[in-house]
Every structure is written in C-alpha cells, then in structure tokens.
Amino acid sequence: MRVTHLSCALLLIACGGGDKAPAADSAAAVMPAPTVNLAEVSGKWSMVNMAEGSDSVIVTAEMNATGSSDGWTITLSGRPPMPMRISVSGDSIMSETGPYESVLRKGVQVTTNGAMRMVDGKLVGTTVAHYSGVTTADSVLRMRTVNTRMP
C-alpha cells in the first residue's frame, strides 16, 4: 500500500509542473518590436547604393522623406523626382520604386524594393533591383543602402 501511495505522489509531482508562471524572459520575447516613427526620419537624405559584398558605390540618389508614408521621393542624378511607396513594419521602413529606366542598364526598366532601419543616425538596409525583360541570372541585383541625413 505504501508503494501505491508513493507512486501516486511521485506521479502528481511529475505532472504538476504545468501551473508554474512563465519565466520573465518569455514575456519579453512576445513583445512587438518598436515601430519606427516616420516623423523622426522626415527630411532630405543622401543615398548611396553598393553592390552586396562591396564598398564600391554604384548608384547615388537623394531621398526626400516625409512624416507619413505619403510623399516620399527619390531623385537620381539628372532625373525628376520619382515617388516611393512606403510602408512600416516594426523598426523597418519598406520601399518600392518604379518601374523606371535603370541607371546601370540603359533602356532596361527596373523596379526596386528596399528595407531600411535607423542605425547610428543613418538609414541603412538593402535594396533589390528587379530588371524587366531580363531572363538571365543577372535579372536581380542586391545592394547595400546607406542614407545620411542632409543639412
């Protein structure tokens, strides 16, 4: 009889662990990432794009950011401003521009998609260029993007 009571007691102890409160770390793990405040990034930015894995600048532009997702533009050298489509997710700003004629490939249309976030006072991230009508492996170009606030 003692063995039966002891076995039942051990079984209850082993199964009773589900009532513990979650660890403090688990509450922090489910908290959403902070949302970027577009008003804090509004203004003019000098943009440089470098091929992924390189420090060589291949495209420069000026970006005009507003305090909302509307009205953002990018201006490539010698061209009129082009509208950017902006959305926010957590601490990231996503952008899409185009289609427009590529700076790097004359006569080829390109659409760019990017994601940026604030790091040490700069908007940094990646930009992916998708070239229309190109069916070879180089139909996509991945770039690193660094935006520095202009005075």
Q: Are 116 and 97 in contact (CB under 8 A)?
A: no
Residues 6+ apart with CB under 8 A from 131: 102, 105, 108, 109, 110, 138, 139, 140, 141
What does the pLDDT average to over 51-66? 96
Between 6 and 122, residue with greater pLDDT = 122
Residues 6+ apart with CB under 8 A from 82: 73, 74, 75, 76, 97, 98, 100
- Provide the number of structural domains found in the chain: 1
Q: What CATH number corresponds to the domain at position 48?
A: 2.40.128.30
Averaged pLDDT score across all residues of the chain? 86
Q: φ, ψ for residue 50 (rounded to 5)?
A: -120, 145
* Domain assignment of residue 108, yes or no: yes
* Domain assignment of residue 8, yes or no: no
Of the pLDDT bands very low, low, confident and very high (cuts 50, 70, 90), residue 6 is very low
Tens-place pLDDT, residues 8-23: 444 444 455 555 555 5
